[in-house]
Amino acid sequence: MSVKTLTIDGKAVSAAEGDSVLEAAREAGIEIPTLCHLDGLTDIGACRMCLVEVTGSNKLLPACSTRVAEGMEVRTNTEQLRKYRRMVVELLFAERNHICAACVANGHCELQDVGIAVGMDHVRYDYLYPNLKVDVTHPLYGMDQNRCILCARCVRVCDEIEGAHTWDVLGRGVKARVTTDLNQPWGEAQSCTSCGKCVMACPTGAIFKLGSTVEESVKERGKLAFLKTARDKKQWVL
Amino acid sequence: MSKLRFASVWMGGCSGCHMSFLDLDEFLFDLADKVEVVYSPVADVKTYPENVDVCLVEGAIANRDNLELIHTIRRNTRVVAAFGDCAVTGNVTGMRNPLGGPEIVLDVAYRNGQVLRPQIPDDEGVVPPLVPKVSPVHVVVPVDLYIPGCPPSAKRIRAVLERVVAGQPVEMIGRDLLKFG
């Protein structure tokens, strides 16, 4: 496999051909904020948090799904990018009912974390206040549409790691919802193995363990990294 | 130097932010040396005064009294601070918005399933009527400073007030100052 050399924020970086700009940046210790990215899952560039500037491109590119190229010049933290990232986070908060104080993920939520990272002290856009459902038909887990940011990590972890493909996205645009089986209540979704990987993958309080307090609801992302390492490298290390 | 004219108000919120304010403990003595409390739920003042330097606004704009008072506050105040998540985002107070207008919400809370004389007090001047939609403060009037938190911790309130009292600009950066909830 050939090696590509590029610069990220002025720093010379080398990466393997086929690596994403995000992987190359993180390897070099340059942090780019993400939401829909989860190590081990196919990147889909859905959340636009990781947008970067690339010299020669007149549009912003998602670092997670842009491959490194020889001589590429990448900027990850310009004023324009900081402005757009904050807009992205504010729009996510405005789109559904994210009430941190009444959320099971309060204190360990990736949406809350990026809000802090981008310096969001309030939301400038009008809140939409959609009337959304909470599905608690599954015996172990619950799904709260109010907290969903449509990152589709649940969809991908269920399909790519568990192999069940219980989750999918129904509808388009502002009407899009994650859904189980053919839009059935989760408790009636026959393809669900109740493995709980969607709970581990969900960045917010949208998918959660029933009966858990806020303090108990820390997502166990380590288990997904364990499975990823086991598959890629045949190393079964916890 | 004359003392800062300081106010705090309690709008559509649970008063938890004011409880957290009282949690400032001995810092309240330092604060009392530097500010004059001209209006507050903890002071017996009936009308919002003029020439207020800084006002902490707890709670969202949920009823007609809130709406009238916030406009008075904006007119008479140099620095209006949205104090806590209800003021900044609508938060728990705003959870009625997805359900529809106030009638639906009041029905659920006070009429449906009530056996003993289900009613809503609606005599003029008794309980202020709810506005159709709960709003964060900045949707109604311009806000100069946002202090998130449900409630903001005493540490966070102190960090902000120390700078406000010293006349320094307040920059809300980092988890200690910015985390919601």
Name the residue facing B181 among A100, A129, A130 (closest C-beta): A100
Residue identified by tokens 């540490």 is B155
Residue A212, token pair as written in the block: 């858990």
Average of per-residue pLDDT across B116-122: 83
* A-chain residue closest to B151, CA distance: A101
B167 found inside a domain:
yes
* Radius of gyration for the alpha carbons in chain B, expressed in angstroms and rounded: 17
pTM, to two decimals: 0.94
Residue B37, token pair as written in the block: 């409390």
- Please tell me the total count of domains within chain B: 1
Residue A217: band (very low, low, confident or very high) from pLDDT cuts 50, 70, 90: confident
B32 found inside a domain:
yes
Residue B155: band (very low, low, confident or very high) from pLDDT cuts 50, 70, 90: very high
CATH fold of A83-233 reads Alpha-Beta Plaits (3.30.70)
> What's the confidence (pLDDT) of residue B173?
95
Residue B145 has pLDDT above 90, yes or no: yes
Q: Testing the interface with B: which of A112, A127, A215 to mutate, by most B Cβ within 10 A?
A: A127
Measured between beta carbons, the chain B residues lying within 8 angstroms of A123 are 89, 136
Amino acid residing at A92? L
B26 found inside a domain:
yes
pLDDT in tens, A219-232: 888 788 888 888 88
Residue B73 has pLDDT above 80, yes or no: yes
Average of per-residue pLDDT across A44-51: 96
Which residue has better confidence, A45 or B109?
A: A45
The distance of A13 to chain B (nearest Cα, Å) reads: 29
Q: A110-117 vs A79-95: helix axis angle to the nearest 10? A: 140
Which residue has better confidence, B115 or A130?
A: A130
Residue A79 has pLDDT above 90, yes or no: yes
Residues spanned by the domain of B38: 4-93+132-178
> What's the confidence (pLDDT) of residue B125?
84
Residue B1 has pLDDT above 70, yes or no: no
Measured between beta carbons, the chain A residues lying within 8 angstroms of B99 are 131
Residue A5: band (very low, low, confident or very high) from pLDDT cuts 50, 70, 90: very high
> What's the confidence (pLDDT) of residue A49?
97
Residue A54 has pLDDT above 80, yes or no: yes
φ, ψ at A47 (rounded to 5°):
-90, -20
Please determine, looking at this structure, whether the domain spanning A3-75 carries the CATH number 3.40.50.300. Answer: no
Residue A86, token pair as written in the block: 């904050």
CA of A173: how far to CAs of A46, A140, A170, B9, B117, in Å?
12, 30, 10, 40, 46
B148 found inside a domain:
yes
The distance of A83 to chain B (nearest Cα, Å) reads: 15
CA of A197: how far to CAs of A58, A59, A203, A221, in Å?
38, 35, 12, 9
* Spatial distance between the Cα atoms of A38 and A90, rounded to a whole number of angstroms: 21
B23 found inside a domain:
yes
Name the residue facing B85 among A100, A127, A132 (closest C-beta): A100
Domain boundaries, chain A: 3-75, 83-233
Q: What is the percentage of chain A residues whose pLDDT exceeds 90? A: 87
Average of per-residue pLDDT across B42-62: 96
Residue A236 has pLDDT above 80, yes or no: yes
Measured between beta carbons, the chain B residues lying within 8 angstroms of A119 are 172-173, 178
Name the residue facing B181 among A106, A120, A132 (closest C-beta): A106
CATH number for the domain spanning B159: value is 3.40.50.700
B171 found inside a domain:
yes
B46 found inside a domain:
yes
ipTM (interface predicted TM): 0.93
What residues of chain A have any CB closer than 8 angstroms to a CB in chain B? 93, 97, 99-103, 106-107, 112, 115-116, 119-123, 126-127, 129-132
φ, ψ at A4 (rounded to 5°):
-105, 140
* B-chain residue closest to A123, CA distance: B89
Tell me whether residues A112 and B179 touch, CB distance under 8 A: yes
> What's the confidence (pLDDT) of residue A232?
82
pLDDT in tens, A105-139: 999 999 999 999 999 999 999 999 999 999 999 99
Q: Contact B132/B99 with Cβ under 8 angstroms?
A: no
> What's the confidence (pLDDT) of residue B108?
84
B159 found inside a domain:
yes
pLDDT in tens, B15-37: 999 999 999 999 999 999 999 99
pLDDT in tens, A191-212: 999 999 999 999 999 999 999 8
By mean pLDDT, which of A118-122, A232-236, B160-164 is the weakest?
A232-236
Q: Contact A205/A105 with Cβ under 8 angstroms?
A: yes
Tell me whether residues B97 and A129 touch, CB distance under 8 A: yes
Average pLDDT taken over every residue of chain A: 95
What residues of chain B have any CB closer than 8 angstroms to a CB in chain A? 82, 85, 88-92, 94-95, 97-100, 133, 136, 138-139, 143, 146, 148, 150, 172-175, 178-181
Residue identified by tokens 């809503």 is B120
Measured between beta carbons, the chain A residues lying within 8 angstroms of B173 are 119
Average pLDDT taken over every residue of chain B: 95
> Which one-letter DSSP state was computed for residue A126?
P
Q: Nearest Cα to B65, choosing from B103, B10, B105? A: B10
The distance of A23 to chain B (nearest Cα, Å) reads: 25
Measured between beta carbons, the chain A residues lying within 8 angstroms of B61 are none
Residue A6 has pLDDT above 70, yes or no: yes
